[in-house]
Amino acid sequence: MLKKFFWYRTFEWPHTRPLGWTNFFPPPPKDLDHRKVLVVGTKSRSLGDGLCLTTLPRKLKSLYPGLKIQTFCRGLNPAIFENNPYVDSVTAFPGELYGDDCNWGSGHQIELKEQYFALLHCDHAKPELYLSEKEARVATEWRSKMERPLCIIHPWGNTCNSVLESDVWTRLIKHLLPHWEVYQVGVVGQNLIPGAKPLFLPPNRRVVRKLFAWMAQAQLFIGVDSGPMHVARAFNVPSVILLDQLDASKIFEERKRLPYYSKKVRLNAFLYEDNAHESTSSQTTDSLLQKIYDHMERLRRPD
């Protein structure tokens, strides 16, 4: 408890007004062999932006073991990097902050940042989150009280308000309930889809780690393109991601074979199974839901 108190408060007092001499757009560092400190973090308050940086500390440390890695005290950075064995501390005085604009090449956002630092990257990029023993134990005890597989839904987020209408979500949950435990994650004050149980958190960065622990216990995630989507990816949770962009195939390729369903004028469906995918276009809402049902049934009965 004391360790966590100091982790969140290490030089945290000026985080609402970072010092003016901080360089938020530094050039790629060329002196990492001799550099003592590198600060990694997002200058935004977006969960997804921070999660896309989480592979950097481990990969940088593997090449430069003498390099001290810090994160920025602003926003969700401290919560995202908490328990990360490759991050040494939190700072309010980054000098140079490497994060949102550190992109090079093509591919997933995680790959762009790894290429920026000339790091090796894999085809299945995903965030890295580290739960404490207590966090994992509490979540496991919570999950053990359920008799059915756990499905977590996230119908709307900050970056994507909604893709499916509330009545479509209600139909989806009605189909799920006989065979799945359905919980909805979100922020206190959001509408609860009928039939789902709430896992709503206050807009407080210190409690966001509860979301990480809950998601690690799930067997299925269904939601929009927002922060919880990346959390599900970190814990290898099979996912159905709902998009409202027309060019779903491009997004599908860039996100490295995550299962995406897009709903707009044309509906494109992508199913993730053993690194392969199938696509269907010009679907109705009913056929889109049937695709999701079929995918969930295969997850529930893998044999």
Name all domains of the chain by residue range, CATH numbers in brackets: 2-116 (no CATH), 142-300 (3.40.50.10300)
Higher pLDDT among residues 17 and 117, named by residue: 117
Q: Which two tokens mark 191?
A: 């509408």
19-76: per-residue pLDDT in tens?
456 788 888 888 888 899 999 999 888 898 999 999 999 999 999 999 999 999 988 9
- pTM summary value: 0.81
Q: How much is the mean pLDDT over the chain? A: 79
Q: Which two tokens mark 253?
A: 């390729």
Residue 261's contacts (CB-CB under 8 Å, 6 or more residues apart) are 240, 241, 242, 243, 248, 267, 268, 269, 270, 288, 291, 292
pLDDT of 160 reads 65
pLDDT of 181 reads 95
Residue 15's contacts (CB-CB under 8 Å, 6 or more residues apart) are 72, 73, 74, 75, 92
Q: Is the pLDDT of residue 268 over 50?
A: no
> Coil, strand, or helix at residue 242?
strand
For the chain, percent of residues with pLDDT exceeding 90: 38
198-241: per-residue pLDDT in tens?
999 988 877 999 999 999 999 989 888 888 989 998 998 888 87
Q: What DSSP line would sit under 185-234, residue for residue?
A: EEETTSPPPTTPEEEEE-S-GGGHHHHHHHHHT-SEEEEESSHHHHHHHH
Query: Rounded to whole angstroms, how far apart are CA atoms 138 and 16?
Result: 32
